[in-house]
Amino acid sequence: MTQAPATARRTGRRHDREIIALALPAFGSLVAEPLFVMVDSAVIGHLGTPQLAGLGVAAALLTTAVSVFVFLAYATTAAVARRVGAGDLPAAIRQGMDGIWLALLLGAAVIAAVLPAAPWLVEAFGASGTAAPYATAYLRISALGIPAMLVVLAATGVLRGLQDTRTPLYVAVGGFSVNAALNIGLVYGAGLGIAGSAWGTVLAQCGMAAVYLAVVVRGARRHGATLRPDAAGIRASAQAGVPLLVRTLSLRAVLMIATAVAARLGDAEVAAHQIVLTLWSLLAFALDAIAIAGQAIIGRYLGAGDRDGARAACRRMVQWGIAAGLVLGVLVALARPLFIPLFTADPAVQDPLLSTLLVVAVTQPVSGIVFILDGVLMGAGDGPYLAWAMVVTLALFAPVALTVPLFGGGLVALWWAMALMMTVRMLTLWLRTRSGRWIVTGASR
């Protein structure tokens, strides 16, 4: 009778060590990524308002283009982790190389589409006549770095699948540092203006991709894995990524609808909404770090055929998600009056912020469960269900959010609609994990 609790405690501590070892470096690399845009903004901001406005438009377009392909990291992590769990490291690395080759092909396709369409994209995004030339120049130059950005995503997935989140952290920090130095040197030292900032970002991304490729190639040679492109493997990677692409596009649609509704509420409300969305995204980094650990750990357990280990890891990570959500929620609720003045001094913006952030605080435990279960099912390779669940969530969220202005609701009502969206996601993910249908063992799903 006393052995079972003691065994459970030892198992829990082992899972805790694994989660911490993977999640902490993952959090660091996640935070480093948006710093690229922040550095560009800080450097270009001193050139003038039109240049900064042009950067804002171009950066939004680039972020959207790259984030659509985030499945390169997620799908690769799950596939590589399964083969690691099965004890077949050469196959794991070959799987990772298929993802990297797919990233290069997609990157080339994006360049071919963006370069000629850049002026039209900038105009469609609403850039002013003075900002449009700067936005077009930045977008065209930065687009040359998209293949490198996608390789970074795929290679990050490879290393996460190999249970290594430290190397992505080191590469992200190094890339951020090089990007900052290149931006200052090229924009001011070489006098290239906004073009210098774009070239700095391209060179930094290419450097990061080169480091990742060197690490993966070294691993491939060590384990005798081929580096040649394999059409069947690339096709399989693409097929695994399609459901996650649908999931990502549905989630992006949710955020776009929310922003569109906030814009209809008034200038103060949309300004407050952008601040809330920024903070909500920052909180998501902390929860997503645990989810990334979940992808790697669950994939490894399933690859090893350990059903009980996968279930136990899932339960433990959900506990972590709830605890992290509670802590973050309390911090947001208590610190609201302190950090709101850092973003705006306008009372018309501060008032809706104060109430809306309380909604965000209350729903953080729900967000914790959502992010963890999302990571668990990604690690299990359960992409089709994730796609279906997110499409259903979008279908339920859209009419609720769009009726907020019709019934005189404000920003708080919009974010209660966001809370409903997260609750629906939680229910769909919980039902799936409870059913056990995600538990498919073996080197491949």
pLDDT score of 152 more than 70:
yes
* Helix H or strand E encompassing 65: helix 49-67
Q: Is the pLDDT at 1 greater than 60, yes or no?
A: no
Q: Is the confidence at residue 424, as pLDDT, over 90? A: yes
For 37, 163, 356, 414, 416, the CA distances from 82, given in Å and listed in that order, are: 34, 11, 41, 40, 38
pLDDT at residue 81 in the model: 95
The answer to whether 363 touches 422, Cβ cutoff 8 Å, is yes
Band of pLDDT at residue 378, cut at 50, 70 and 90: very high
Identify the CA nearest to 15 among candidates 290, 368, 379, 284: 290
Of 38 and 330, which is predicted with more confidence? 330
What's the chain's average pLDDT?
A: 89
The alpha carbon of 372 is separated from its chain's Cα centroid by a whole number of angstroms, namely 13
Cβ atoms within 10 A of the Cβ of 399, count? 9
pLDDT > 70: percent of the chain: 96
| Phi, psi angle pair for 381, to nearest 5° | 75, 30
Task: Answer yes or no: are the C-beta atoms of 91 and 83 closer than 8 Å.
Answer: yes
Give the separation between CA 244 and CA 275, rounded to whole angstroms. Answer: 28
**pTM exceeding the 0.85 threshold for the entire prediction:** yes
User: CA separation (Å) from 159 to 167, 236, 351?
Assistant: 8, 19, 44
Contact, 147 vs 111, CB < 8 A?
A: yes
Instruction: Count Cβ atoms below 10 Å from residue 13 Cβ, excluding itself.
Output: 11
C-alpha distances (whole Å) from 431 to each of 244, 318, 425 are: 19, 14, 10
Convert the pLDDT of each residue in 269-303 to its tens digit: 887 887 888 788 888 888 999 999 999 999 999 99
- The reported pLDDT for the residue numbered 80 is 95
Give SS3 for 130: coil
Q: Cα 366 to chain center, whole Å?
A: 18
What pLDDT score was predicted for residue 6? 63
Q: What is the arithmetic mean of pLDDT over 306-323?
A: 94
Among 112, 119, 132, CA closest to 56? 132
Question: For residue 10, is pLDDT > 80?
Answer: no
